[in-house]
Structures are given as C-alpha cells and as structure tokens.
Amino acid sequence: MSTFRSQERLQESLNLLTTLLEKQRVIEALTHKQESKNKELVEALVHRQNLALLQRKLRDLHPADLAHIIEVLPQADRLVVWAELEPYHAAQVLLESSRSVRDWLVAETERPRLVALLGQLDPDDLAYISDSVDPEIVAEVYQSLDAREQSLFQSTIAYPDGSVGHLMSPEFVSVRDGRDLGGALEDVRRRGELPPHTEALFVVDARNVLRGALSLKDLLLREPSAQVSAVMSTDVVSFTPQERASDAARAFERYDLIAAPVVDERGKLVGRLTVDVVMDFLRRQAQSEALLRAGLAGEEDYFAPAWTSAKNRWLWLFVNLLTAFLASRVIGLFESTIQDLVALAALMPIVASVGGNTGNQTVALVIRGLALDRLTRANTGHLLKKELFVGLMNGAVWGTVVGLAAAALYGSVPLGLVMAAAILLNLVVAAMVGCAVPLVLQRLGRDPAQGSSVLLTFTTDCMGFFIFLGLARAFLV
C-alpha cells in the first residue's frame, strides 16, 4: 500500500469517527429536549446504536492508527473512543501513543481496567511503559506473570531509558552451530511461527555465545546436509545492552539492518533489536529535540489543559526574559549615541537578525553532525576554521549589500560603512558561537539541542548591538 493511500485511509477513518461522535452528541441533545415517557429508552437505544457502529470501526483499525486518532481528538472525544476499545487494542494504543497522551490515558483509566489491559502486554512492552503507570499497579500486573515473564520484565527495566537493553526484545530464534541445515529447518518448523522482522537465525554455541547468523535464504536454498557453521555469516553487527540506543540507531541506518543480536559482556545472546523499535526511538528523539530547540521543557499534549501547557513553557520563557533584559542593558549603554543618531534604532535590529539566522544555520549543522557522529575531537578544529571563513565571506557579501542600502537610504556613507562592518563582525561571532554552544553542551553531558538557540540568540543580539552601536559611537558621533 502506498504512503498516500495509507494516509488517505487514516484520514477517512478519522473523519468517520468524528462524524459518529458528533452525530451521537446531536441526537442525544435532541432526545434529551423531547418530553416523552420513553425518552430514557430512546436515548439508550440511540446511544447503543452509535456505540455499536463506533466499536465496529475501531476493531478494523491498526493500533498505530488508533493512537494517532486518539491524539488528534479533544479530550472529551478521546474518552469516548478509549472506553470502547477492547483490552488488547487499548494496550497496543498505549504503546503507540506519545508519552504525554499515554500518561493522560493511564490517569483517566480505572484501576481494574488498567490492570486488565496491561496484562495483555509482553513483559518487555510492559517495562517500556512502566514509567507512565503507578508502581503499585505495575507490581500487581507483575505478580500475574509467570517466572519466565517476570525475569524478562526485570531484565528490561534493569537498563536505563535510551539504552539498547531498554529497547531490546527477548524474542529471537537461535540455532546451534553444530547442527546441519535440515535439522535447523526442522527446529524452525516446530516453532510454528517466527517473531516479526526475522530475516536470519542467530547461531550460538553450546554456551549460548553468539557465533554468527544464518539467513533464511541460505536455510531454505542450501543443501540440507550442509553444516550451519559452514554456511553462516560471521560478520554480524551486534550490540550490548549498555550501549546507547542512539549509537545503535546510527548502525541500523549505516548497515541497513532489519534486526541485530544483543549480547552480554561474555558474548552470550540475550536479546534482539529490531528496526521498528529503532524507528520509534528515532521519531521520539527527533520530536524531543524539536521541542527542546523551541524552548519547551517536555513533550506536550496538544489538547492538555491550558494551565499544564503554560507550566511546560515557563523554564525557557524565563531564560528568554533574562537574556532579553541583558540585551536591553547593552542598548542602554548607548542611549546617548542613539539619541544623537536616530537612524541607529532602525538599523540595529537588522544586524542582530542577520547574525541570529547565520548562527542558527551553524547550530543546525553542528547538532546534525554530533547526532550522526561526524564530528570528533580530531576534526572539530577544521570545522571551526571552515565556519570562520564562511562567516567572513557571508559577512563581506551581505555586509556590503546592507551597507550600500543603508548609505543610500540615509544618505550617509560613514553610516553605510559602520553597518557593513557590524554585519561582517557579527556574522563571524555568530558562526563561532553556533559551533561552540552545541559542542560545549555535549562536553558538559547535556543535550546539544537544549537551549542552543536561546544562548545563540542572546549572544548574537548582545554582540550585534554592542558592535554596531560601539562602531557608531566611535566613528559617527
């Protein structure tokens, strides 16, 4: 199915559900206004009919589509849809939903139903969303698991969020290296089914140490008498549970992986990492970085109460307020200069704006380089030199353009020269700060995306005002 068709079907489903919800509200309002002995019976029949239509439609939808639809519905409509989901589908929706919406759904669900739907999850999936659930409820669900499932749950939550161990699945298919292909194929057939995204069997020795991988193609097409050890590939990309998930994601992209084994410090096979989980991780990471760059403290539900959304934005609004105040103090140092030459007040925002745009371009480039591991201690110096020359060239070109425009507009060649020099110097400053801020944040163990734009804007504004007004005081007044 094409992406366009998939999106089209999703939109059709959303429109249908929205129509059903609206129809239910209208009919209930009309029947409620009617004065009749059978009013309660009519309301019950209409309500039941609409819910039956809603339930049939919900059963046909993929959990990912259900999660998307729930996220775009206002909270009142969400509750109606959420209440009609069967436990299995509701549990899958929790997995597919964003953290903010998942937290809200969990908070709005009665304890018995929440326990029932959490019981539908695999141990690793339960561990994945356990941070959104009351520990007492998690403990109650945990007690309902058998010994093997409890062990899997404990092994998953033992690793921190953002690690390979937190994302890995215990579902994999392994085969001993001493088997022949015929025997290995019989072992696979006895399983009855294969875990999703299985393109190869992991080959282990008698101690469960990973030795290689046997592709399904070789398993089916090679001679049954051939030994697994002779056919398997030993060039296998594997990970340890302690590795960062972001590093694993880059490896999946680099080597076009569908699934990869996870081994412990002794090389023993303990799990598997799959491309669908990696894609979900990258999506969440990209959304988080976008929110951090925008100055949001965390993920925000689009239909959360206004008070909740307001608090989520306070931190960086406060930081912005402080930096804006400091920038205004820089301008205050040159009040007499501005009074003598009013044109400066109209021109100085241009200097700050151009510097901010240049710096943001550099910040985006550096953050991307850090995310893809293309920037190291060895090549950082080369990047700084290159961005310095880029800033100089752009400053010379656009400083000249803006300087000529200012000279023509105000009929003052000295003012045009000051404008050109300020643009040149501020673009150089912006390029250097755009490189330095993400690199310093990373060295300090912070997310390079968090606060980079705020710190950059503060620096380019302050330096732009200081350079421009300082040159104006020195050469024009």
- Residue that terminates a domain, selected from 252, 275, 298: 275
Would you place residue 2 in the very low, low, confident or very high pLDDT band (cuts 50, 70, 90)?
Answer: very low
Cα distances (angstroms) measured from residue 49 to each of 14, 24, 32, 194: 19, 9, 16, 40
> How far apart are the C-alpha atoms of 366 and 434, rounded to whole Å?
8
Higher pLDDT, 289 or 397: 397
The reply to whether 291 falls in a domain is no
The reply to whether 35 falls in a domain is yes
Res 149: pLDDT: 87
Res 435: pLDDT: 92
- Residue that terminates a domain, selected from 229, 258, 275: 275
Q: What are phi and psi of 474, to 5 degrees?
A: -75, -35
pLDDT tens-digit readout, 178-227: 999 999 999 999 988 899 999 999 999 999 999 999 999 999 999 999 99
Q: Are residues 270 and 334 in the same domain?
A: no
For residues 422-439, average pLDDT: 92
The reply to whether 301 falls in a domain is no
The reply to whether 305 falls in a domain is no
Average pLDDT over the chain reads 86
Most confident of 251-260, 277-286, 303-312, 320-329: 251-260
The domain that holds 77 is classified in CATH as: 1.25.60.10
Of 202-216, 308-322, 408-422, 456-470, where does mean pLDDT reach its minimum?
Answer: 308-322
The reply to whether 296 falls in a domain is no
The reply to whether 453 falls in a domain is yes
The reply to whether 293 falls in a domain is no
Q: Are residues 181 and 234 in the same domain?
A: yes
The answer, yes or no, to whether residue 468 has pLDDT greater than 60, is yes
Q: Are residues 157 and 178 in the same domain?
A: no
The domain that holds 388 is classified in CATH as: 1.10.357.20
Higher pLDDT, 263 or 9: 263
Q: Are residues 140 and 191 in the same domain?
A: no
pLDDT tens-digit readout, 84-129: 898 999 999 999 888 889 999 999 999 999 999 999 998 888 988 9
Q: Are residues 383 and 405 in the same domain?
A: yes
Percent of the chain with pLDDT over 90: 46
Angle formed at CA 464 by CA 459 and CA 470, multiple of 5 degrees: 125
Q: Are residues 384 and 243 in the same domain?
A: no
Would you place residue 327 in the very low, low, confident or very high pLDDT band (cuts 50, 70, 90)?
Answer: confident
Per the structure, the count of domains in the chain is: 3
- Identity of the amino acid at 326: L
The domain that holds 210 is classified in CATH as: 3.10.580.10
The answer, yes or no, to whether residue 441 has pLDDT greater than 70, is yes
Q: Are residues 388 and 260 in the same domain?
A: no
- Residue that terminates a domain, selected from 131, 162, 193: 162
pLDDT tens-digit readout, 243-289: 999 999 999 988 999 999 999 999 999 999 999 999 988 888 877 77
DSSP secondary structure letter of residue 131: G
> Which domain, by its residues, includes 56?
7-162
> How far apart are the C-alpha atoms of 324 and 321, rounded to whole Å?
5
Q: Are residues 158 and 230 in the same domain?
A: no
Cα distances (angstroms) measured from residue 10 to each of 78, 241, 272: 16, 36, 31
The answer, yes or no, to whether residue 27 has pLDDT greater than 50, is yes
Q: Are residues 342 and 457 in the same domain?
A: yes
Q: Are residues 42 and 137 in the same domain?
A: yes
The reply to whether 287 falls in a domain is no
**Any idea which residue has 């081994």 for tokens?**
263
Q: Are residues 65 and 89 in the same domain?
A: yes
Q: Are residues 250 and 114 in the same domain?
A: no
The answer, yes or no, to whether residue 1 has pLDDT greater than 50, is no
